[in-house]
Amino acid sequence: VPQAARNTYANTSPWRDYTVSGAAYSGSFAFQVITAPDGTRSAEITSYTGNSTTIEIPETVVDATDNTTYNVTSIKGEFLDGNSTATTLVISRYVENIEGDFLSGNDTLRTIQVDTNNQYFSATNGVLFSKDQTMLIKYPPAKTGTNYTMPNTTISLSNHAFANVSVLQTLTLSNQLLVISNSAFAGATSIYRITFQTTTPPYLTGFKAFQVTAENGLQLRVPRNSLTTYQNSLYYRYYRSYMPGV
């Protein structure tokens, strides 16, 4: 509810029977003020209520209750859940934290851009990475193009990195990849072939990391000389029958 009306809601039936949290607004963005361990206060974007195709995260927001300006340093993972219009997201310079389930409830976004002055994140070809490009954080769910080759700087895939992609069909992983989150491919049923380049299987953080459906006929293509290693590796054993050596 609006921050200024929080107490009114909390003391009025039937709202008093629910947990009521306040949200401030800056244009079409809802935000909350967060406090870092060192006492620094900043803003976290929690949702977007507009209908623009291009969404630019603001650098700063103003809390109307006390006219205080805060840098936007964080974005809730679900802030675009249910949005049906956004195709481009621009992340501003002060953002340093993005939740691990970022955009997992969105199916329209095609490209992500990052302010070049941001010290924590970067984007290449519309895909979100850590600043040093070692972690692939988010491949946009509706990004155009059926094939994607991951940069060889990438050593880890974040939670929901490829979750719910709807266009991508074939993916070639980095030859330096070390870790794949078990939710990295959640709902990514359009992908039917994933090519591994590493002789040592990247570590999977849990079972059933890859989506197998009757429709996608999934193939996990691994180096032929490492086929037995992959097939006998913990968590990869489940996919033995989907592994042609290449």
Confidence check: pLDDT of 26 > 70: yes
Confidence check: pLDDT of 21 > 70: no
Q: Answer positive or negative: Cα dihedral of 231, 233, 237, 238.
A: negative
Length reported for the chain: 246
pLDDT in tens, 213-243: 767 788 999 999 999 999 999 899 989 889 9
Using CB atoms within 10 A of its CB, is residue 116 exposed (0-12), middle (13-18) or buried (19+)? exposed
Residue 236 burial (CB count, 10 A): 22
DSSP state of 201: P
Q: Which residue, chain included where needed, has tokens 């010290």? A: 119
Give percent of the chain above pLDDT 70. Answer: 90
The tokens of 199 are what?
Answer: 């002789």
User: What CA–CA distance (Å, rounded) separates 2 from 173?
Assistant: 44
Which residue from 50, 66, 68, 3 is spatially nearest to 31, judged by alpha carbons? Answer: 3
Strand (E) or helix (H) holding 56: strand 54-56
pLDDT in tens, 89-127: 999 999 999 987 889 889 999 999 999 999 999 999 999
Confidence check: pLDDT of 1 > 60: no
User: What CA–CA distance (Å, rounded) separates 189 from 217?
Assistant: 10
The two most distant CA atoms of the chain are separated, in Å, by 68
pLDDT of residue 2: 57
> Mean of the pLDDT values across residues 133-143?
97
pLDDT of residue 207: 81
Which residue from 226, 128, 148 is spatially nearest to 193, judged by alpha carbons? Answer: 148
The mean of the pLDDT values for the chain is: 90
Strands across the sheet with 88-91, in order?
Answer: 54-56, 88-91, 111-114
